[in-house]
Amino acid sequence: MCLRLVALLIIFAMTCMPSRAGDGRLQSYGFGNGLSSTIIGGAVQDRYGLLWFATWAGMHCYDGYDFHRINIEPGDSAAISSDRILSIALSAGGDILCRTDNDVYEFSLSDFRFRNITPQRCDSALRFMIKTWEGLTDRQGNRWTADNRYLHKLEATHHPASVIQSTAALHPRAFLDAPDGKLLVGTRRDSCIITVGADGSVISRMRLPVAPYVLFRTSSGDIWVGCKPGALMRLGDKSICSDAVYDIREDARGRLWIATFGNGIRCCPDPQAPRPSLSAPFSGGKVRQLVITPSSNIVAATTDGLLVGHIDDNDYTRTSFRRIRRDSTDPDGLSSNSTMCVAQDSHGNIYIATESSGINVISETELMGDNPRFRHINTRTSSLKDDVIKAMKLDSDTLLMIVGNDNVTAFNPADGSATNLSRTFWNDTCRFGEATPLRLPDGSWLFGAEEGAFRATSHNIHSRGYVPPLVFTTLAVNGADAKFCLVPRTAVSLDKESRNITVGFAAIDYVDNTDIRYRSRIDGSPWTPFAPSRSVSLFNMSPGQHVLDVQSTDRFGRLVENARSLVIDIAPHWYETVWARTIFILLIIAFITGIIYTFFHISDLHRRQRELLARYMALIGDREASAGSTIAAEPRTRPEDNAFLDRVRKYIEDNISNPEANVDAMALAAAASRSTLNRRLRSQLGISAAQLLTRARMKRARELMATAADHNLSMADIAEMCGYTDVYYFQRVLKKNDDL
């Protein structure tokens, strides 16, 4: 009866308040969300933060993103005999007791297996597991209930920021801190300037004819108000123009420079005069915001690019401006003509926020030069969540407050880190305007939205609240379907074929996980950039032990200390073992040694062949040396080889002038076949028989040519004495063997 009443109340709430995934108070889950059955008999939250639901189609584990089904399969050796789980409970050891129609089983989180329990434990468990499930409140305060159609979550909403009640629903457009902790708020909806006390109460309310868009205090202490549709006045005085005023700035000479939305930039040269006046417009267009640098340069954000100029201190009327627009062919140019606001840090860097293209950064010197080159900060190049920027405030060189449609980002320009404060930080339907954020003396920040002036303390913005526990969830091997099996594990062992894996993970936040980002690294490598992806794919992994580290942000994009490590141990193939690698190394060393030995052996052999050939050639034609057969002095030459070479030498000497001399005749004289002759000559002298005969003739020719003049020998005579009948052929052979 109680369960039926709760279900009716939830259905009534759903009809009165539409469900909004991610930022609503009520969220419902059914078949389309991954549940295999909506008949839910119970739920528990385990020690890792995961929610487990008992259904008539097995257990379902919810990690805030996906429902993972645990059910029986043929041949899985599971003790449980049915997927119809009527209720579940946590055991004393932290595992999950599951009640079916006939028995109670224990699901172990250490190995994801169903086990039998003793009859005594079964009887004890049945006493408290037969009760009707009335819902579960998780550790974040969310209330989970179910009917026969849906699983419901009633969120425990908590918004760290708060609306100043005196500004609620008035759409603040301008802020100015006043002495004694007071605050001036210009509201758009009722066209008032409200003086708010430190406790948020209204001290005074000044109604204006039009809505105030900017409040500015001069160095003399006067407060100026710029309005839209059109008015500019010193507080308490009459308006001095009918232009729509978006911003006011003061230069070093005390002059006020006015950004008008439609009539360009104007100047009030004497704001302290009893009746101040405005100059003619310096440049046309819709100007949203100004910045005046210490160098008296002025930079204006407009709907049509940037206006930049230098203020003439002596004669302000001579100040001129030039416009910088987007160039679609220049990747380092201005990213968008629709610029919203500008700011400058202590290093001279200018920050230009655009309506939908992120932020452009440039030094003041380069901006004032002829060819400005911008650095772009956007969702592709940084940790910014959104490229839409409505307002921006630079508080220090390390804190840039960026206001988007429904979020605020605290961005650090120095290191690129960002804290994204989404709607769960403000409220469920937050819609920010173009009001420039204001930092109060106590460190709090004010932001203007349609719902009112949101106040966020520095503690709420920067401190770490709820830290979502991070768990490893799924494992996919070699492209197979992902298996939900990693929750309790810190290590996993894979076989030698499992070289390509995908590991899934999740940071548990049941209130809002929309803006949680993850980073990872393998084996101590540099961290990857933060991204929404909840899995890491590793390819062609080497055998051995690897360590995967994963860390996440909280729901506001702030880095938290929840890093988890998973040890991945991959078995090697036989050829990847230490012994196999040692053998391979030894074989490679032996192979290289053999190559080196062969190289030097062949080199030595060729050297000896050259030396022997030189001595042998010296004997050919030298009768006196030939008589002693000095070739035999070579200690490595066998006697039979000496005899063989002497027979060859004798044939060459006897036939050196015979044009009919040939290899066959030489072989016959040497008592060998033609092939044996060539083989033995190549082995001993390194050349063939034909080459040896040619060398001998060339040697003879050079000797004759050296004494040709003494013996009156012509080239034809020398050719004939060397066995050549064609003098021209002889000359070609002589030239070809010029190096012999």
Q: Evaluate whether residue 219 is within a structural domain.
A: yes
Length of the chain: 740
Q: State residue 295's pLDDT score.
A: 94
Q: State residue 11's pLDDT score.
A: 41
Q: Evaluate whether residue 454 is within a structural domain.
A: yes
Residues (pLDDT < 70) of the chain are: 1-24, 464, 621-637, 739-740
- Helix, strand or coil, per DSSP, at residue 401: strand
611 and 719: one domain? yes
Question: What phi, psi does 286 have (nearest 5°)?
Answer: -100, 110
130 and 170: one domain? no
174 and 133: one domain? no
Q: Please return the burial class of 650, using the count of CB atoms within 10 Å of its CB with bins 0-12, 13-18 and 19+.
A: middle
Does residue 292 contact residue 311 with C-beta atoms inside 8 Å? yes
Give the domain-ending residue among 544, 576, 608. Answer: 576
192 and 120: one domain? no
Q: What token pair was written down for 324?
A: 């910088």
Q: State residue 465's pLDDT score.
A: 76
Q: Evaluate whether residue 346 is within a structural domain.
A: yes
Tell me the one-letter amino acid at 529: P
Q: Evaluate whether residue 498 is within a structural domain.
A: yes
Does residue 494 contact residue 503 with C-beta atoms inside 8 Å? no
CA 325/CA 305 separation, integer angstroms: 5
pLDDT 10s digits, 103-143: 899 999 988 889 999 999 998 888 888 888 999 999 999 99
Q: What token pair was written down for 480?
A: 């197979």
428 and 474: one domain? no
Helix (H) or strand (E) holding 248: strand 245-250
Question: What phi, psi does 64 have (nearest 5°)?
Answer: 95, -15
Site of tokens 């009459």: 238
217 and 176: one domain? yes
Q: Which CATH number fits the domain that encloses residue 417?
A: 2.130.10.10
Q: State residue 637's pLDDT score.
A: 61
144 and 68: one domain? yes
pLDDT 10s digits, 628-657: 454 544 445 678 888 888 898 888 888 988
Give the domain-ending residue among 126, 154, 182. Answer: 154
* Number of compact structural domains in the chain: 4
Name the nearest CA neighbour of 405 among 428, 417, 388. 388
Name the nearest CA neighbour of 295 among 309, 306, 316, 283. 309
CA 387/CA 362 separation, integer angstroms: 18
CA 290/CA 257 separation, integer angstroms: 8
Q: What angle do helix axes 578-619 and 689-706 make, rounded to 10 degrees?
A: 40
pTM greater than 0.85:
no
Q: Please return the burial class of 263, using the count of CB atoms within 10 Å of its CB with bins 0-12, 13-18 and 19+.
A: buried
Name the nearest CA neighbour of 160 among 362, 430, 381. 430
425 and 279: one domain? yes
Q: Which CATH number fits the domain that encloses residue 487?
A: 2.60.40.10
Give the domain-ending residue among 406, 427, 462. Answer: 462
- Helix, strand or coil, per DSSP, at residue 593: helix
Q: Which residues contact 604 (CB under 8 A, 6 or more apart)?
A: none
Q: What token pair was written down for 659?
A: 């044009």
Name the nearest CA neighbour of 671 among 697, 630, 643. 643
Does residue 468 contact residue 507 with C-beta atoms inside 8 Å? yes
216 and 334: one domain? yes
Q: Evaluate whether residue 584 is within a structural domain.
A: no
Structural domain harbouring 34: 2-154
- Helix, strand or coil, per DSSP, at residue 573: coil
Q: Which residues contact 275 (CB under 8 A, 6 or more apart)?
A: 240
Does residue 354 contact residue 389 with C-beta atoms inside 8 Å? yes
Q: What token pair was written down for 341?
A: 């606001």
CA 631/CA 625 separation, integer angstroms: 10
219 and 113: one domain? no
Q: State residue 630's pLDDT score.
A: 47
Q: Evaluate whether residue 583 is within a structural domain.
A: no
- Helix, strand or coil, per DSSP, at residue 648: helix
Q: State residue 462's pLDDT score.
A: 80
Q: Evaluate whether residue 589 is within a structural domain.
A: no
Q: State residue 22's pLDDT score.
A: 39
CA 99/CA 80 separation, integer angstroms: 10
Q: What token pair was written down for 645?
A: 């070479």
Q: Evaluate whether residue 337 is within a structural domain.
A: yes
Q: What angle do helix axes 639-655 and 689-706 make, rounded to 10 degrees?
A: 50
Does residue 562 contact residue 550 with C-beta atoms inside 8 Å? no
147 and 167: one domain? no
632 and 522: one domain? no
CA 719/CA 12 separation, integer angstroms: 124
Q: Please return the burial class of 63, using the count of CB atoms within 10 Å of its CB with bins 0-12, 13-18 and 19+.
A: buried
